[in-house]
């Protein structure tokens, strides 16, 4: 039995991390979308739990990090244990879980089900999430001829619920339906890669033990094998990743064999499992889809296009980043801010990220293999050093996007802010907000609210030359904003200016700040005073030294463009208004207003 065809702008197949993160963006852009989920309800207990610092930053950008941080276990220290050469283990040393400068956010542990719930709660604040449970996606087809029309509902998805089949026509479809993706298989795409002969077990347990580091993230290398401890939220539950002996077959593994292997690795400490909440066994493998898109109308995300081992804690985190990347781009295209060609950057950016992830995972997996370390002469000290060095990657902070219409490299101008990397997430530093003397992280001025940001580091405007320069910059940027912003929209709704000044805050008056940086916005038509910051001493939190952190010379200044997803798009001279305008004209749709230099055709 088949129902008539329904229509939606975006159909998301699967309500996992990637799908919900994309949906969060779409809800903020006001896009018409629908989510189909095969399960009969929300995820109750996810298998993923590691929340890397970049993911916490992502949640904070949506202003939903508070519950995440409150409910989670915070990973602060690593404990390394090695064989004592007498059949037991001894602690070799402690190490910090992350470099202090890596992120202002912590690495935490929280069940994926709770993360999903936090995203759903955020979406519901803008209107009830359009998710339908108990629906099986059966096929996906793209009318490639119709796909040339950007307004065409050219993707047809057949789905069934309770035996009733129906067809949904969409402009775009996201395949967020996991490693066994029906969307991927329906398009004829294949997963390329391989599996190793290494078998690992994983279990969430309530342990009774005298092992001293049971509530710390710990790596144990014993003569009996390797084990990783991941304490879970709630102060009781603990996850073990357990290396199983060579020759182990997954189907022969059971709960009891996992517990026995763990007890051997923990010797001479006792390890009694009071209860096992969940367990599994898996063969380590790395695979990537041969294609990430069909006609740039169907896009694969998360496990549907890349799978790898869980030990680096990347699966859920990289999937979230996939959704974070495609979500704002779909929003911008469907709102006519940018042409459909913007979506090509999802493939170029996330496909390369997936390839790098798989290469890293192969190396990281070998590090945990007792056999590989013995064959290659890797000592326990070298293992620990390599583990800590990998922290930048496992934290999600090593992603770097290549040249594109929305990422512009220039080696000369990048010297103006040498500690900021084009193509990478914008690093944060403490600044003081001018309007209320609040010390805060600069990244908090760049939330994920569907805007581009232009950061102007204008130096010390008590100097008359710097002040005159800033006035000229403001005039040029305002003309650019008027050209590119839709008529009737707030002047900062598409391109949001952020001014960062050096020098003493208390000797500058509000009237010295160009009005472009304090636009009249919002329901009440009030002047927005929250876009101006000083790199100055605060009352209670010290000095952030932001200019020094970014490497910006106050006398020279710099202008930095940051994308809606907080990645750096361009670094240029502080007065390069025409260069900034040309950058935006390169991918934003014209709105029929005068250009800075001439008229629209």
204, 276 Cβ separation under 8 angstroms: yes
Domain count, the chain: 2
Token pair for residue 122? 């955020």
Sequence-distant (6+) residues with CB within 8 A of 337 are 494, 588, 589
Query: Residue 475 falls within a domain, yes or no?
Result: yes
Same domain, yes or no, for 429 and 529? Answer: yes
CATH of the domain at 375: 3.50.50.60
Which residue out of 207, 231, 310, 497 is catalytically annotated?
310
Tokens 């060095």 belong to which residue? 389
Query: Residue 535 falls within a domain, yes or no?
Result: yes
Query: Could you give the CA distance from residue 124 to residue 117 in angstroms, rounded to a whole number?
Result: 10
Q: How far lies 111's CA from each of 17, 52, 204, 223, 436, in Å?
A: 12, 13, 11, 31, 37
119, 20 Cβ separation under 8 angstroms: yes
Query: Residue 180 falls within a domain, yes or no?
Result: yes
φ, ψ (nearest 5 deg) of residue 74: -100, 120
Query: Could you give the CA distance from residue 183 to residue 424 in angstroms, rounded to a whole number?
Result: 30
> Active site includes 33?
no
229, 218 Cβ separation under 8 angstroms: yes
- Residue pLDDT, tens place only, 231-265: 998 889 999 999 888 888 889 999 999 999 999 99
Which one, of 177, 95, 53, 111, lies nearest residue 427 by Cα? 53
Q: How much is the pTM?
A: 0.93
Which one, of 444, 416, 430, 426, lies nearest residue 535 by Cα? 430
> Is the pLDDT confidence value at 4 over 80?
no
203, 242 Cβ separation under 8 angstroms: yes
| The pLDDT of residue 312 | 58
> Is the pLDDT confidence value at 17 over 80?
yes
Query: Residue 313 falls within a domain, yes or no?
Result: yes
Name the residue with higher pLDDT: 368 or 97.
97
Quote the Cα angle for 295-359-239, to 5°: 105
**Pick from 131-140, 149-158, 182-191, 306-315: least confident:** 306-315
Last residue of a domain, one of 395, 422, 455: 395
| The pLDDT of residue 311 | 59
Last residue of a domain, one of 336, 366, 395: 395
Beta-strand pair 50-51/73-75 = unpaired
Same domain, yes or no, for 156 and 37? Answer: yes
CA 553 to chain centroid = 30
Same domain, yes or no, for 539 and 566? Answer: yes
Last residue of a domain, one of 371, 395, 419: 395
CB atoms within 10 A of CB 599: 8
pLDDT band at 352 (very low <50, low <70, confident <90, very high): very high
> Active site includes 241?
yes
> Is the pLDDT confidence value at 119 over 50?
yes
As a whole-number percent, the residues of the chain with pLDDT over 70 amount to 95
CB atoms within 10 A of CB 573: 17
Same domain, yes or no, for 554 and 438? Answer: yes
Same domain, yes or no, for 456 and 382? Answer: no
Which residue out of 33, 153, 172, 241 is catalytically annotated?
241
Average of per-residue pLDDT across 466-479: 98
> Is the pLDDT confidence value at 514 over 70?
yes
> Is the pLDDT confidence value at 501 over 70?
yes
348, 404 Cβ separation under 8 angstroms: yes
Same domain, yes or no, for 380 and 464? Answer: no
- Give the structural domain span for 45: 6-68+110-190+288-395
Query: Could you give the CA distance from residue 375 to residue 368 in angstroms, rounded to a whole number?
Result: 13
| The pLDDT of residue 348 | 96
pLDDT band at 468 (very low <50, low <70, confident <90, very high): very high
The mean pLDDT of the chain is: 92
| The pLDDT of residue 102 | 78
Query: Residue 483 falls within a domain, yes or no?
Result: yes
Average of per-residue pLDDT across 276-288: 87
> Is the pLDDT confidence value at 310 over 80?
no
Which residue out of 232, 288, 433, 451 is catalytically annotated?
232
Which one, of 281, 268, 210, lies nearest residue 240 by Cα? 281
Same domain, yes or no, for 37 and 186? Answer: yes
Same domain, yes or no, for 325 and 418? Answer: no
**Helix ranges restricted to H, 268-379:** 315-334, 344-367, 370-375
Which residue out of 33, 49, 514, 567 is catalytically annotated?
49
Average of per-residue pLDDT across 99-108: 85
Query: Could you give the CA distance from residue 115 to residue 462 in angstroms, rounded to a whole number?
Result: 47
CB atoms within 10 A of CB 124: 11
| The pLDDT of residue 13 | 98
3-state class (DSSP) for residue 215: coil
Beta-strand pair 217-222/77-83 = parallel
Query: Residue 511 falls within a domain, yes or no?
Result: yes
Q: What residues pair up with 136 in beta bridges, in sequence order?
A: 160
pLDDT band at 592 (very low <50, low <70, confident <90, very high): low
CATH of the domain at 450: 3.40.30.20
3-state class (DSSP) for residue 389: helix
Query: Residue 162 falls within a domain, yes or no?
Result: yes
Name the residue with higher pLDDT: 359 or 295.
295
Q: What residues pair up with 520 in beta bridges, in sequence order?
A: 527
> Active site includes 49?
yes
| The pLDDT of residue 248 | 87
Q: What residues pair up with 217 in beta bridges, in sequence order?
A: 78
Query: Could you give the CA distance from residue 472 to residue 467 in angstroms, rounded to a whole number?
Result: 9
| The pLDDT of residue 3 | 59
> Active site includes 590?
no
> Is the pLDDT confidence value at 177 over 90?
yes
Same domain, yes or no, for 342 and 423? Answer: no
State the maximum Cα–Cα separation within the chain, in Å, rounded to a whole number. Answer: 81
- Residue pLDDT, tens place only, 18-67: 999 999 999 999 999 999 999 999 888 766 688 999 999 999 999 999 99
Same domain, yes or no, for 329 and 470? Answer: no
Query: Residue 520 falls within a domain, yes or no?
Result: yes
- Residue pLDDT, tens place only, 431-466: 999 999 999 999 999 999 999 999 999 999 999 999
Query: Could you give the CA distance from residue 230 to residue 216 in angstroms, rounded to a whole number?
Result: 7
> Is the pLDDT confidence value at 595 over 70?
no
Same domain, yes or no, for 420 and 544? Answer: yes
Same domain, yes or no, for 11 and 54? Answer: yes
- Residue pLDDT, tens place only, 66-95: 999 999 999 999 999 999 989 899 999 998
């Amino acid at each position: 039995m088949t129902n008539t065809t329904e229509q939606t702008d975006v159909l998301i197949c699967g309500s996992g991390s990637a799908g919900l993160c994309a949906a969060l963006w779409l809800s903020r852009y006001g896009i018409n979308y629908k989510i189909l989920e095969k399960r009969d309800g929300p995820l109750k207990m996810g298998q993923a739990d590691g929340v890397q610092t970049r993911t916490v930053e992502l949640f904070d950008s949506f202003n939903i990090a508070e519950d995440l941080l409150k409910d989670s276990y915070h990973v602060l220290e690593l404990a390394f244990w090695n064989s004592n050469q007498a059949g037991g283990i001894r602690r070799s040393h402690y190490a910090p879980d992350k470099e202090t400068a890596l992120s202002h956010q912590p690495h935490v542990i929280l069940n994926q089900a709770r993360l999903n719930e936090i995203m759903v709660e955020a979406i519901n604040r803008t209107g009830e999430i359009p998710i339908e449970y108990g629906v099986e996606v059966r096929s996906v087809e793209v009318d490639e001829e119709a796909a040339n029309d950007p307004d065409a509902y050219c993707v047809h998805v057949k789905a069934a619920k309770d035996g009733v089949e129906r067809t949904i026509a969409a402009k775009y479809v996201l395949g967020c339906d996991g490693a066994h993706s029906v969307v991927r298989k329906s398009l004829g795409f294949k997963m390329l890669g391989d599996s190793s002969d290494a078998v690992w077990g994983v279990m969430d347990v309530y342990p009774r033990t005298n092992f001293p580091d049971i509530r710390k993230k710990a790596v144990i290398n014993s003569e009996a094998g390797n084990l990783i401890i991941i304490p879970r939220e709630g102060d009781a539950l603990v996850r073990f990743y357990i290396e199983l002996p060579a020759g182990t077959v997954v189907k022969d593994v059971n709960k009891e064999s996992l517990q026995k292997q763990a007890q051997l690795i923990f010797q001479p400490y006792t390890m009694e499992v009071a209860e096992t909440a969940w367990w599994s066994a898996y063969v380590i493998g790395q695979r990537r889809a041969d294609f990430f898109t069909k006609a740039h109308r169907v896009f694969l995300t998360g496990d549907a296009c890349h799978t790898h081992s869980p030990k680096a804690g990347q699966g859920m985190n990289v999937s979230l980043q996939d959704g974070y990347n495609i979500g704002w781009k779909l929003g911008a295209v469907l709102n006519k801010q940018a042409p459909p060609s913007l979506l090509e950057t999802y493939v170029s950016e996330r496909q390369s990220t997936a390839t790098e992830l798989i290469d890293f995972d192969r190396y990281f997996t070998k590090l945990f293999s007792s056999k590989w370390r013995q064959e290659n002469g890797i000592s326990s000290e070298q293992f620990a050093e390599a583990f800590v060095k990998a922290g930048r990657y496992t934290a999600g902070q090593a992603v770097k996007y290549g040249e594109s219409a929305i990422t512009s490299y220039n080696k000369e101008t990048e010297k103006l802010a040498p500690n900021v990397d084009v193509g990478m997430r914008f690093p944060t530093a403490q600044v003081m907000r001018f309007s209320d003397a609040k010390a805060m992280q600069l990244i908090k001025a760049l939330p994920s609210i569907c805007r581009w940001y232009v950061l102007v580091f204008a130096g010390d405007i008590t100097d008359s030359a710097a002040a005159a320069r800033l006035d000229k910059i403001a005039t040029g940027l305002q003309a650019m904003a008027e050209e590119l912003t839709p008529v009737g929209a707030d002047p900062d709704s598409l391109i949001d200016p952020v001014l960062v000044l050096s020098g003493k805050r208390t000797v500058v008056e509000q009237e010295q700040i160009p009005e472009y940086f304090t636009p009249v916005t919002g329901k009440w038509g009030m002047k927005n005073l929250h876009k101006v910051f000083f790199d100055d001493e605060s009352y209670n939190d010290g000095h952030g030294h932001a200019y020094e952190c970014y490497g910006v010379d106050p006398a020279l200044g710099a202008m930095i463009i940051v994308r809606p997803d907080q990645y750096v798009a361009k670094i240029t001279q502080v007065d390069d208004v025409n260069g900034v305008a040309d950058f935006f004209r390169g991918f934003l749709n014209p709105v029929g207003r005068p250009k800075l230099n001439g008229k629209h055709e």
